[in-house]
Amino acid sequence: MSNIVVFYDTEYTSWEGAMDNDWKGPGQYRELVQIGALRFDLDTLEAKEEFLILIKPVRNPQLSAFFTQLTGITQADIERDALDFPDAYRAFRAFAGACPTAAYGLDARVVRENLGFNAMPDTEAEFDSHNIGPWFHEQGAAHGITKGINSGRLAAAVGAEMSSIQEHNALHDARSIAAAYRFLIGKNARPFFAGKL
């Protein structure tokens, strides 16, 4: 039986300088705008099904020009295609099913923040996932991965092939995580998930 994990990535509201001040500026919140994910087979090292969803921010419903320039997500995209957070979160959890999830960095913290923003019921408000970032920094250091690199650049940093580059798109960034993971395992890196599933 195959061992499947879900690699995912998020995009959330941001402004010029928000990262430097950890979103502590007036009225700044990390509201989710996009979740991208894929099922990844640890036996074959192949990506399976993919998931991408847009989410309506509520506390700051108007996207900043900085965010749109960074991600390519426009206000028109949100108004046309986005779901409210509870529905988007449930769709993401349905996609993941019982599979363990992993992200590069603090995406799980952002998901939990959004669960709090939306006062989700206790039965739904639990979310846990693996932070695969430290593994990449340890196993990928010899291949060009440094702590300052973001998830969308992981594949390029190690020289892993990707069909397209669209950094700061959550699905692209999840694909980048998967491609870099496959590359490092191919270079005999210690598997991150050994003993964790």
Of the pLDDT bands very low, low, confident and very high (cuts 50, 70, 90), residue 94 is: very high
Average pLDDT over residues 117-142: 88
Ordered DSSP codes for 135-186: HHHHHSGGGT--TT--GGGHHHHHT---S---TT-HHHHHHHHHHHHHHHHH
Question: Which pLDDT value is given to residue 1?
Answer: 38
Of the pLDDT bands very low, low, confident and very high (cuts 50, 70, 90), residue 2 is: low
Q: What percentage of the chain exceeds 90 in pLDDT?
A: 85
pTM over 0.75: yes
Bigger pLDDT: 107 vs 128? 107
Residue 41 confidence (pLDDT) above 90: yes
**Cα separation, 19 vs 12, whole angstroms:** 11
- Residue 157 CB-half CA count within 13 A: 25
Domains annotated for the chain, with CATH where assigned, are 4-186 (3.30.420.10)
Residue type present at position 97: G
Q: Residue 107, SS3?
A: helix
Residue type present at position 75: Q
Q: Residue 195, SS3?
A: coil
Question: Which pLDDT value is given to residue 126?
Answer: 76
First to last CA, the chain: 13
Task: Quote the mean pLDDT of the chain.
Answer: 93
Average pLDDT over residues 87-93: 96
Residue 122 confidence (pLDDT) above 90: no
